[in-house]
Amino acid sequence: MSSRVEPTDQDVDSDDDQPTTPNALPFDDATQLSALADSLLARFGEHGDRNDLENAIAHYVTALESRGPSHPDYPTSLAQLAGALRTRYEQEGSPEDLDYAIESHTLAIELMSPTNTLLPSSLIGLSIAHIIRFERQGNFDDLDCAFGFGRRALALCPPGHRLRASVFGDLANAHLVRYWQRGDPGDLDRAIENHASAVESRLPTQPPRFSALVNFANALLTRFDERGDAADLDGAIAHFAGAEEVCGEDNPSKSMVLMNLANALTNRFESRGDMRDLDCAIGRFEGALRMCNSGHPNRPMVLIDLASALMNRFKQRSEMADLDGAIGHLDDALESCAREHPRRDLVFSNLASAFLVRFGQRGDLADLDSAIQRHEDALELRLPGHPLRSPSLTSLADALRVRFEQKGDPGDLDKAIEYHEEALEILAEGHPSHLELAINHYHSTLELSLRGHHGHAMTVMNLASALLMRFKSLGDVDDLGGTLSHLEDAKSCLEDGHPDMFNLYDLLSRAHLTRYLISEDVSDREEAFAYRRLATTYVTVGSKRRLDSCMQWIADAECWGHTSALEAYRTALEIIDRHVMASSSVLTRHEALRAVRQSIASDAASCAIRDGRLEEAVVLLEQGRALLWAQLARFRTPLDELRSRGNDGRRLAAEFERLSRELEQTSSAWESQRGQEGESRSVIEQRARRFRRLGLEWEGVVEDIRRAEGFSMFLMPTPFCELQEAAVGGPIIIVNVGRYRCDVIIVLRSSPPRLVPLPLITYQDVSQLSIELTTALKSSTAVGEEKIREQQITRVLRGLWDTIVQPVVDVLRSMKDDVPKGSRIWWCPTSKLAFLPLHAAGPYRNREANLPHLFVSSYTPTLSALIRSRRSRRNISDSPARSFLAIGQPKPFNSSYENDLQTVDSELLTVREIVSPVMPCSSLAGMKATAEAVMSGIQAHGWIHLSCHGKQDMFQPFDSMFSLQDQPLRLLDIIRARTKPTADQPEFAFLSACHTAAGDENTPDEVIHLASGMQFSGFRSVVGTLWAVDDGVVGAVVEGFYRHLVRDGMGYTQAARALNRVMKTVNRNEVPLDQRIVFIHIGA
């Protein structure tokens, strides 16, 4: 036979839609035509042009007809035509093509001699065709034929034959097809054996076959799903990874391979808890998504699976980026799913769950509303009779109940009851229930397990949990009795220190409290709280789970008015501190804090106030607010100081950091590995001993640190007697806004704290005032609307006066000997009150004084922050003489998309003219005001005036920034730079930019904004802004401020008075109300 002939451009690129059918051809021409058909078929495989396939078939038919049955190459032509017809069947699905392919293969094999080199490939092709027809028609004769032809092919392919691997692969697929039809485990085993033989038979010169690797991996994964052998899962992952390596980027199957690999990695993560598997799975899902553009049939499933993996990772690491990403991908999945898509209800349900989780993290009611809407969408698709209708009804009812608790709408409660009732009706009708199946399964497992076996206790607890759930659904008291009986059994099986004791205590608490609800036996209630205390204080589990337990303790104690409520709050704040401390960076600590209920510190203080413990209320607020700043201060200074105490100090610091990290990591790993099949009793006990050892070592190191001189209060709340030092310059007015009550605590330097109850305002009222102020500032900004805006803002200021400030002023007036008129006072607001201008409150009526005319207001995030701002520099004699730097940037970096500021240059000129006679003054502006130069300038000067664009980042507040010449200067950059050992301690900063003291809506008590960051970085006294600054009028405020400050002696402690004076004296016709009160003073 002559060598293969490649088609010419004229032959291949014919524009004819119909295939050409030439007349009978001479021998050589038929051979060349077959070669042309081969090339066309190969190009079809590369590019998918249907014309290539049709022309190839036509050429094969012509060559076949030209040769005739007696021609020696007639069997070859039949086999070639059969292969092309099977290809067209796979593309178009015409049964005639498949039947004709089988007939052609069969006739070709009959005409071939036993020594024909094409016989093995023809037998393989015929076997594959019979498998395909069996899958279409279900006739087992086809499957029997497939095995027969496959075995014949194998006999013709001895070891070393180039087709031997292919034969094994096709036999493996035949066994797998029969396994799916008949369920014989032997077929599955033989399929895997043949796949293994195919891999072993591959010649060194043959590259791995993509399809063979994928099929082998799928077979192993099937057996893993059936039997749970970890080796099968590892093998599947290895072969999927091999398929990924040999699969080209343009292969349309690449996305499916990535999806399969990602799902297998997810399975292994769920079995073993190795976060590397989950990270790799997410990476593969993202790779698959990049290959599945809009309209790709696999795109919805990739998005669903990727979102699920991100939710898994969020549960492990509490990073909000994963949760937000999951929601974004599920939203995209909705757009990608046609209305009739079979998984659309799953997308709605998953999206609802994700929104509900985010609501729990951030408290945004919009997320709760979205969760309910998506649950309703899922329910619409799960009509009566749908197996998931009952859980859908329950989930929707639970979400509605949560919204009722938040908003108090009776309609939500009515709907929740209605949906719960329908869900119970479905269960009562005998609808298949996962709960019933679970109970039956646990009963069966319990009968087979020995009492001393390591899995016995876990099985008993699972059964108890399921019985408790069924009792809550159906009310059968026998289920409740069985729950408690099984839990006592489990309790006797577990040793002290075993990690599963946490789950046992949790279940015992819930079961006893449930029985208390129906029996009203006080002993059940006390047992419930005793077990809740044991669960919450169980140190060998992760802080996240302990915190969840503690929040349940608080909820139960508040609900039943239990005496342990204050203890629960104290415990919660201690756990939060440790939970956040375990995160590796300030950003991840902030994400962890977002998962904590915003009002927890205020609610703790409210509880202490109810008990008449005002000093403890102050301590609890200090312990639970501005935690990030407190930890930054605590873990930079004390641990550094500890390390400076010689070898013992360095050893203790290193051990503390190591054990904290290991205890968190091992507790997360335990949760993932708990209950894994195939683990021996010794492995379980070894892991439990490791938990106990780490917990004891951690506690031991903390005690050792506390024995070191100066560290007796390490990781303990600061006592009130030390916090009281904050009031050395005037009273601290803590405004506590809790969910249960609102109060003011006035902290005085040498007297007990004073309580001022605030019965006229609630947590919801404060939120409403914040919304009203925001609306006023945003909705009436046009020229000519100043009066409207002023009226709206005045209503807010009057509301603050009537409900909060006037009761405080009345108490301060009664203390006029200690706090005379004109004294300085420091506001320490909590919750969303931090966004409101307490310093400007007043009746705003003729002949009635507003607060600025009575007292000089400053703010402080916490009492500790104010104490730190007053501390003297250690090496004051070594510090440089005071110097002033005026920084201005009217034209921010190109990508900031912000308008140029028109008055920055004149503002800097004015500041320099006023300040230079009393202090050395320099400027940094225009092209020179780069981020690096400004940071260097801030570090080199004790006094700073900064005029530029400012931005509070609402999603990641540590990315809040000043817009400079080349790039932003972020809050995180300032914190890191200022804490260098070489940084000189500064004194005063005036931040003439927008939103520099606005804060983060999601964690208002953390007080994360540019002004507080500058204060933490060392500035004793800072002026910042609560909202946007008007470039056109700010100059008048700045000029007045510095003139008053210079007149008073240019000391940083005079900044608050200077700001108070300019606020009262600036021309009201030139500067509107919102711009007179936008600036606030923070610090000493």
User: In this predicted model, what pLDDT tens digit does every residue of 653-662 receive, in sequence order?
Assistant: 888 877 766 6
Same domain, 524 and 553: yes
Confidence of residue 875 (pLDDT cuts 50, 70, 90): very low
pLDDT at 1028 over 70: yes
Question: How far apart are alpha carbons 556 and 270 in whole angstroms?
Answer: 32
Question: How far apart are alpha carbons 1 and 980 in whole angstroms?
Answer: 81
Indicate which CATH number applies to the domain containing 493: 1.25.40.10
For residue 1031, the model assigns a pLDDT of 85
Same domain, 530 and 616: yes
Taking alpha carbons only, the member of 963, 967, 997, 991 closest to residue 889 is 963
For residue 633, the model assigns a pLDDT of 57
Tell me whether residue 134 is in a domain. no
Q: Which residues contact 45 (CB under 8 A, 6 or more apart)?
A: none
Q: What H or E segment, with its residue span, contains residue 694?
A: helix 681-707
Confidence of residue 70 (pLDDT cuts 50, 70, 90): confident
For residue 672, the model assigns a pLDDT of 37
Tell me whether residue 986 is in a domain. yes
Burial class (CB in 10 A: 0-12, 13-18, 19+), 115: exposed
Backbone angles phi, psi at 859, to 5 degrees: -125, 155
Tell me whether residue 545 is in a domain. yes
Taking alpha carbons only, the member of 70, 72, 57 closest to residue 21 is 57
Question: How far apart are alpha carbons 664 and 544 in whole angstroms?
Answer: 9
For residue 670, the model assigns a pLDDT of 42
Tokens, residue 549: 């337990």
Question: Pairing mode, if any, of strands 968-970 and 961-963?
Answer: antiparallel
Residues in the chain: 1084
Backbone angles phi, psi at 383, to 5 degrees: -70, 165
- Contact between 997 and 1009 under an 8 Å Cβ cutoff? The reply is yes
Give the E-state strand segments of 23-151 in sequence order. Answer: none
Q: What H or E segment, with its residue span, contains residue 886?
A: strand 884-888
Same domain, 843 and 781: yes
SS3 content of the chain, % helix, strand, coil (to 5): 65, 5, 30
Same domain, 817 and 907: no
Same domain, 729 and 811: yes
More confident residue, 492 or 539: 492
Of 830, 865, 900, the last residue of a domain is 865
Sign (positive/negative) of CA torsion 467, 268, 281, 347? negative
Q: What H or E segment, with its residue span, contains residue 218?
A: helix 210-227
Which strand ranges, in their side-by-side order, compose the sheet holding 961-963?
949-951, 961-963, 968-970
Write the single-letter amino acid at 734.
I
3-state secondary structure 14-64: CCCCCCCCCCCCCHHHHHHHHHHHHHHHHHHHHHCCHHHHHHHHHHHHHHH
- Contact between 1076 and 1060 under an 8 Å Cβ cutoff? The reply is no
Same domain, 889 and 793: no
Write the single-letter amino acid at 287.
G
Mean pLDDT for the stretch of residues 57-74: 83
Task: Scan for tokens 């704040």, then name that residue.
Answer: 573
pLDDT at 925 over 80: yes
Confidence of residue 457 (pLDDT cuts 50, 70, 90): confident
pLDDT at 877 over 80: no
More confident residue, 1068 or 14: 1068
Distances (CA, A) of 564 to 142, 528, 560, 570, 737: 74, 12, 10, 10, 22
Q: What H or E segment, with its residue span, contains residue 377?
A: helix 365-381
Same domain, 861 and 888: no
Burial class (CB in 10 A: 0-12, 13-18, 19+), 608: buried
Tell me whether residue 668 is in a domain. no
pLDDT at 589 over 80: no
Average pLDDT, the chain: 81
Same domain, 990 and 1048: yes
Same domain, 838 and 889: no
Tell me whether residue 72 is in a domain. no
Of 631, 662, 678, the last residue of a domain is 631
For residue 1043, the model assigns a pLDDT of 96
Q: At what angle do helices 344-362 and 389-407 cross, to 10 degrees?
A: 30
Question: How far apart are alpha carbons 265 and 126 in whole angstroms?
Answer: 36
Q: Best-predicted range by mean pLDDT among 219-233, 237-251, 379-393, 806-820?
A: 806-820
Sign (positive/negative) of CA torsion 600, 601, 604, 606? negative
pTM score: 0.58
Tell me whether residue 286 is in a domain. no
Confidence of residue 18 (pLDDT cuts 50, 70, 90): very low
Sign (positive/negative) of CA torsion 88, 92, 96, 102? positive
User: In this predicted model, what pLDDT tens digit does every residue of 522-543 receive, in sequence order?
Assistant: 999 999 999 999 999 887 666 7
Total number of domains in the chain: 3
More confident residue, 1065 or 1009: 1065
User: In this predicted model, what pLDDT tens digit does every residue of 149-192 receive, in sequence order?
Assistant: 888 888 888 888 888 888 888 888 888 888 888 778 888 889 89
- DSSP annotation of 782 reads S
Backbone angles phi, psi at 6, to 5 degrees: -75, 140
Task: Scan for tokens 């395909």, then name that residue.
Answer: 132
Tokens, residue 976: 């890191």
User: In this predicted model, what pLDDT tens digit does every residue of 347-360 receive, in sequence order?
Assistant: 999 999 999 988 88
User: In this predicted model, what pLDDT tens digit does every residue of 393-430 receive, in sequence order?
Assistant: 888 988 888 888 787 787 887 787 788 777 766 655 54
Tell me whether residue 227 is in a domain. no
CA dihedral 394, 400, 405, 408 (to 10 degrees): -140
pLDDT at 704 over 50: yes
Q: What H or E segment, with its residue span, contains residue 975?
A: helix 971-978
Within 10 A of 627 (CB to CB), how many other CB atoms are there?
26
Q: Is 613 helix (H, G, I), strand (E, B) or coil?
A: coil
For residue 972, the model assigns a pLDDT of 78
User: For the chain, what percent of residues have pLDDT higher than 70?
Assistant: 83
Taking alpha carbons only, the member of 1029, 1038, 1034 closest to residue 912 is 1038
Q: Is 944 helix (H, G, I), strand (E, B) or coil?
A: strand
Same domain, 782 and 907: no
For residue 425, the model assigns a pLDDT of 67
Question: How far apart are alpha carbons 639 and 649 in whole angstroms?
Answer: 9
Burial class (CB in 10 A: 0-12, 13-18, 19+), 189: middle
Mean pLDDT for the stretch of residues 659-667: 57
Tell me whether residue 466 is in a domain. yes
Indicate which CATH number applies to the domain containing 943: 3.40.50.1460
Of 834, 865, 896, the last residue of a domain is 865
User: In this predicted model, what pLDDT tens digit does every residue of 786-800 receive, in sequence order?
Assistant: 788 899 999 999 999
Q: How far apart are the first and last CA of the chain?
A: 98
For residue 857, the model assigns a pLDDT of 97
Same domain, 568 and 447: yes
Question: How far apart are alpha carbons 345 and 847 in whole angstroms?
Answer: 64
Question: How far apart are alpha carbons 154 and 161 in whole angstroms?
Answer: 10
User: In this predicted model, what pLDDT tens digit does every residue of 224-243 receive, in sequence order?
Assistant: 877 778 888 898 898 888 88
Backbone angles phi, psi at 1031, to 5 degrees: -55, -25
Same domain, 908 and 823: no
Question: How far apart are alpha carbons 833 and 804 in whole angstroms?
Answer: 10
Domain around 1074: 882-1083
